[in-house]
Amino acid sequence: MSQDTGFFQNVYDVVSQIPYGRVTSYGAVAEYLGSKGSARMVGWALNSSKYHLDGIPAHRVVNRQGLLTGKRAFGGQNTMRDLLESEGVHIEDDKISDFKDIFWDPAKEL
DNA sequence: AATTTGACGCGGT
DNA sequence: CACCGCGCCAAAT
Protein backbone atom coordinates (compact mmCIF):
# COMPACT_ATOMS: atom_id res chain seq x y z
CA MET A 1 0.00 0.00 0.00
CA SER A 2 2.65 2.46 0.99
CA GLN A 3 4.69 1.86 -2.08
CA ASP A 4 2.24 2.10 -4.90
CA THR A 5 3.41 3.23 -8.27
CA GLY A 6 6.64 4.72 -7.04
CA PHE A 7 7.66 8.09 -8.28
CA PHE A 8 4.17 9.43 -8.69
CA GLN A 9 3.23 8.63 -5.13
CA ASN A 10 6.35 10.36 -3.90
CA VAL A 11 5.41 13.53 -5.67
CA TYR A 12 1.78 13.26 -4.63
CA ASP A 13 2.83 12.96 -1.04
CA VAL A 14 4.93 16.10 -1.07
CA VAL A 15 2.67 18.20 -3.26
CA SER A 16 -0.42 17.29 -1.28
CA GLN A 17 1.35 18.65 1.79
CA ILE A 18 1.75 22.10 0.31
CA PRO A 19 -0.06 24.53 2.64
CA TYR A 20 -2.84 26.75 1.41
CA GLY A 21 -1.65 29.86 -0.31
CA ARG A 22 1.81 28.42 -0.79
CA VAL A 23 3.64 27.16 -3.82
CA THR A 24 6.73 25.18 -4.67
CA SER A 25 8.80 24.40 -7.70
CA TYR A 26 9.44 21.20 -9.60
CA GLY A 27 13.11 21.39 -8.81
CA ALA A 28 12.43 21.78 -5.10
CA VAL A 29 10.27 18.69 -5.01
CA ALA A 30 12.75 16.78 -7.13
CA GLU A 31 15.51 17.79 -4.80
CA TYR A 32 13.54 16.66 -1.79
CA LEU A 33 12.93 13.31 -3.45
CA GLY A 34 16.66 12.97 -3.77
CA SER A 35 16.65 13.30 -7.51
CA LYS A 36 17.89 16.83 -7.74
CA GLY A 37 17.96 17.94 -11.33
CA SER A 38 15.20 15.55 -12.35
CA ALA A 39 12.49 18.17 -12.18
CA ARG A 40 10.96 16.57 -15.29
CA MET A 41 9.93 13.57 -13.27
CA VAL A 42 7.96 15.81 -10.96
CA GLY A 43 6.11 17.28 -13.91
CA TRP A 44 5.55 13.80 -15.22
CA ALA A 45 4.10 12.62 -11.96
CA LEU A 46 1.81 15.60 -11.69
CA ASN A 47 0.74 15.06 -15.25
CA SER A 48 -0.39 11.60 -14.23
CA SER A 49 -2.14 13.02 -11.20
CA LYS A 50 -4.67 14.71 -13.43
CA TYR A 51 -5.50 11.31 -14.91
CA HIS A 52 -5.84 9.81 -11.46
CA LEU A 53 -8.18 12.59 -10.36
CA ASP A 54 -6.40 12.83 -7.04
CA GLY A 55 -6.51 15.78 -4.71
CA ILE A 56 -3.18 16.94 -5.98
CA PRO A 57 -2.94 20.73 -5.92
CA ALA A 58 -0.75 20.71 -8.99
CA HIS A 59 -1.54 24.38 -9.48
CA ARG A 60 0.65 25.00 -6.45
CA VAL A 61 3.60 23.62 -8.31
CA VAL A 62 5.29 25.91 -10.77
CA ASN A 63 8.66 26.20 -12.40
CA ARG A 64 11.72 27.86 -10.94
CA GLN A 65 10.57 31.25 -12.12
CA GLY A 66 7.16 30.97 -10.50
CA LEU A 67 5.77 30.78 -13.98
CA LEU A 68 2.59 28.79 -14.56
CA THR A 69 4.14 26.60 -17.18
CA GLY A 70 1.66 23.79 -16.61
CA LYS A 71 -1.43 25.92 -16.98
CA ARG A 72 -2.10 24.38 -20.36
CA ALA A 73 -2.34 20.96 -18.73
CA PHE A 74 -5.35 22.15 -16.78
CA GLY A 75 -7.40 22.32 -19.93
CA GLY A 76 -7.77 26.06 -19.82
CA GLN A 77 -5.43 28.98 -20.18
CA ASN A 78 -6.52 30.55 -16.92
CA THR A 79 -7.64 27.55 -14.90
CA MET A 80 -4.41 27.25 -12.99
CA ARG A 81 -4.21 30.99 -12.48
CA ASP A 82 -7.75 31.11 -11.17
CA LEU A 83 -7.03 28.36 -8.68
CA LEU A 84 -3.96 30.13 -7.36
CA GLU A 85 -5.64 33.50 -7.11
CA SER A 86 -8.50 31.75 -5.39
CA GLU A 87 -6.01 30.70 -2.72
CA GLY A 88 -4.65 34.16 -2.28
CA VAL A 89 -1.77 33.80 -4.69
CA HIS A 90 -1.34 36.82 -6.89
CA ILE A 91 -0.56 36.10 -10.50
CA GLU A 92 0.71 38.49 -13.06
CA ASP A 93 1.30 37.58 -16.66
CA ASP A 94 0.96 33.88 -15.77
CA LYS A 95 3.62 34.32 -13.13
CA ILE A 96 3.45 34.37 -9.34
CA SER A 97 4.19 37.88 -8.12
CA ASP A 98 5.14 36.90 -4.59
CA PHE A 99 6.61 33.60 -5.66
CA LYS A 100 9.71 33.69 -3.50
CA ASP A 101 7.63 35.12 -0.68
CA ILE A 102 5.16 32.24 -0.64
CA PHE A 103 7.65 29.66 -1.79
CA TRP A 104 7.33 26.47 0.23
CA ASP A 105 10.43 24.35 0.26
CA PRO A 106 9.74 20.71 1.27
CA ALA A 107 13.40 20.17 2.00
CA LYS A 108 13.19 22.88 4.68
CA GLU A 109 9.60 22.71 5.85
CA LEU A 110 9.66 18.96 6.10
C1' DA B 1 14.03 -3.66 -26.49
C1' DA B 2 14.86 0.92 -28.43
C1' DT B 3 13.54 5.64 -29.27
C1' DT B 4 11.10 9.82 -28.17
C1' DT B 5 9.20 12.83 -25.17
C1' DG B 6 8.12 15.51 -21.10
C1' DA B 7 4.09 20.76 -16.43
C1' DC B 8 12.43 21.52 -15.73
C1' DG B 9 17.06 23.85 -14.61
C1' DC B 10 21.08 25.97 -15.86
C1' DG B 11 24.93 27.28 -18.57
C1' DG B 12 26.87 28.64 -22.79
C1' DT B 13 26.97 31.06 -27.29
C1' DC C 1 17.19 38.63 -25.47
C1' DA C 2 17.01 34.19 -28.38
C1' DC C 3 18.42 29.87 -29.29
C1' DC C 4 21.00 25.54 -28.23
C1' DG C 5 22.70 21.72 -25.66
C1' DC C 6 23.36 18.97 -21.59
C1' DG C 7 21.67 16.48 -17.47
C1' DC C 8 18.15 13.68 -15.22
C1' DC C 9 14.89 9.63 -14.94
C1' DA C 10 10.72 7.40 -15.90
C1' DA C 11 6.66 6.42 -18.89
C1' DA C 12 4.44 5.89 -23.38
C1' DT C 13 4.61 4.18 -27.99
Question: What is the tally of structural domains in chain A?
Answer: 1
CATH of residue A24:
1.10.10.10
DSSP A69: G
Q: Is residue A1 a part of any domain in this protein?
A: no
Domain enclosing residue A74, as ranges:
7-102
Spatial contact of A41 and A7, defined as CB atoms under 8 Å apart? yes
Q: Tell me how far apart the alpha carbons of residues A95 and A46 are, in angstroms, rounded to a whole number.
A: 19
Q: Is the CB of A44 under 7 A from strand B?
A: yes
Condensed to tens digits (0 to 9), the pLDDT of residues A45-95 reads 999 888 887 789 999 999 999 999 998 888 878 899 999 999 999 999 899
Q: Is residue A79 a part of any domain in this protein?
A: yes
Q: Is residue A25 a part of any domain in this protein?
A: yes
pLDDT at residue A102, rounded to an integer: 95
Interatomic distance A31 CA / C5 C1' (Å): 22
Condensed to tens digits (0 to 9), the pLDDT of residues A93-110 reads 899 999 999 999 999 998
**Does an H or E element contain A47, and which?**
helix A39-52
Q: Is A49 helix (H, G, I), strand (E, B) or coil?
A: helix
CA–C1' nearest nucleotide, residue A8: C10
Interatomic distance A38 CA / B2 C1' (Å): 22
Q: Is residue A107 a part of any domain in this protein?
A: no
Write the single-letter amino acid at A25.
S
Q: Is residue A108 a part of any domain in this protein?
A: no
Q: Is the CB of A78 under 7 A from strand B?
A: no
Q: Is residue A110 a part of any domain in this protein?
A: no
Percent helix, strand and coil across chain A, each to the nearest 5: 50, 10, 40
